[in-house]
Amino acid sequence: MATEVTELRARASGVLRENWRTGVRRADGLAYAYTCPSTPRYRHQWHWDSCFHAIAWSHFDRARAEAELRTLLRSGRPDGFLPHTVFWGWPAGWRRAPFYATGRVLGATHTETIDPPLLAVAWERAGPAGDVAALEQIAAHLDWLARERDPDGDGLLSLILPDESGLDDSPKFDVVFGRYAHYKPSAALLIEQCRRLGYSARRIAACGELHVEEVLVNVAYALSLHAMARMTGEPSWALRAAQTERGLVWRSLDPATGLFFDLAGPGETPVRVSTWSCLAPLALPGVPDDVKRRLVEEHLLDARRYRAPVGIPSVSMEEPAYTPHFDRWRNWRGPSWVNTAWLLVPALRALGYEADAERIVAPLARAALREGFREYYDPRDGTGQAAKGFAWSTLLVDLV
């Protein structure tokens, strides 16, 4: 195992270096340094990808980890908004541009939408300690989310488009977004509608349009609020984290199945599709242990649901939509991703399921050694799928 870990680390560092991009943006003269997820498919900077990259970089080169996070901090607006995707070296290509939720279709420097807010988590792991100015900027970002994305003030953030969850084509969005689902051509119409409403969650909700209190984004948010509490020593952050955790337990937790479901639309209807985000609250310190054990015993470790030979399937194997093989047009519908294991495995270890945690990590690490760092893997046999040299898959170095 020791030589395998050494090999895995060497290859991870190789992928991160290969994908490293630096320069100055022509449109506004801003300097950038970040890891692109994978070329040629993903050339831009994605918010949650960069958080993962920084954590992986912190194992090899803390200066690059910090530079990547500072680039994220430069990517937004003074009011605290930080975008889902940032275009540094190149604007979005004309064919893809209508599918990016930007202010104008051509020539935008970033999207007007959010991504799972993991910046405070990444800063605590990979940023320098005691940088008051950076912490103030991260605080402004979390305040923006509370102000703009929690219109009903219940501590749970709302999404306006499915890819704000990072789980673009997950089958949990099929029912909610229907013909506007992220992988359908009409997705561009939904983006156009959000553009007309200024991407304001409040205006979108007031028009009776779609919005979703999505579990994964709220888990990321609560984790970041906890990280802020530790980094600043200010108890108000911990109170905000607890409010979000309570919101999830009281409102998203389904007593019948023990799963956490997204709440969709004005009626906050539970979206009863079992995908890995239903298990994500395992990572939260404020979720009671009995709720977590149920998630583990009845779902994560159940061979009919999420216990697969390689990694953690992104959709329960029991769901009709579960698709373990590569699907050219859709993602997050079955294959195992490394960031999923990265979020859930430490929680499993903390609850004492050490052997099960190993059973998830070791086959994923073997798959990465055999197939390279791929975007995701077939849960049945670890066949690598989709993008090659995919940077956040190097998070495995944080798990082994």
- What's 20's DSSP letter? E
Cα 7-8-13 angle, rounded to 5 deg: 100
Q: Closest distance between ligand GLC and the C-beta of residue 386, in Å?
A: 9
**CB-count exposure of residue 38 (10 Å: 0-12, 13-18, 19+):** buried
> Which position among 127, 162, 166, 258 is part of the footprint of ligand GLC (CB under 6 A)?
166
Other CB atoms within a 10 A radius of the CB of residue 249 amount to 16
Rule CB under 6 A: which of 167-196 touch ligand GLC?
168
Taking contact as CB under 6 A, which single stretch among the options 40-48, 117-125, 130-138, 204-212 is the one that binds ligand GLC?
A: 40-48
The token pair that represents 306 in the structure block: 């999420």
Rule CB under 6 A: which of 42-81 touch ligand GLC?
42, 46, 48-49
Name which of 316 and 331 has its Cβ closer to ligand GLC: 331
Residue 334 binds ligand GLC (CB under 6 A): no
Name which of 101 and 241 has its Cβ closer to ligand GLC: 101
Other CB atoms within a 10 A radius of the CB of residue 218 amount to 30
Name which of 42 and 298 has its Cβ closer to ligand GLC: 42
Total of chain residues touching ligand GLC, rule CB under 6 A? 8
Q: How far apart are CA 282 and CA 261, in angstroms?
A: 13
Instruction: Give me the amino acid identity at 39.
Output: T
Other CB atoms within a 10 A radius of the CB of residue 180 amount to 19
Q: How far apart are CA 184 and CA 64, in angstroms?
A: 37
- C-alpha of 155 from chain center: 19
Rule CB under 6 A: which of 236-275 touch ligand GLC?
none
Q: Closest distance between ligand GLC and the C-beta of residue 288, in Å?
A: 29
Name which of 76 and 166 has its Cβ closer to ligand GLC: 166
Q: Closest distance between ligand GLC and the C-beta of residue 165, in Å?
A: 8
Q: Closest distance between ligand GLC and the C-beta of residue 392, in Å?
A: 7
Q: How far apart are CA 32 and CA 71, in angstroms?
A: 6
> Which position among 35, 37, 314, 363 is part of the footprint of ligand GLC (CB under 6 A)?
37
Applying CB under 6 A, which residues contact ligand GLC?
Answer: 37, 42, 46, 48-49, 166, 168, 331
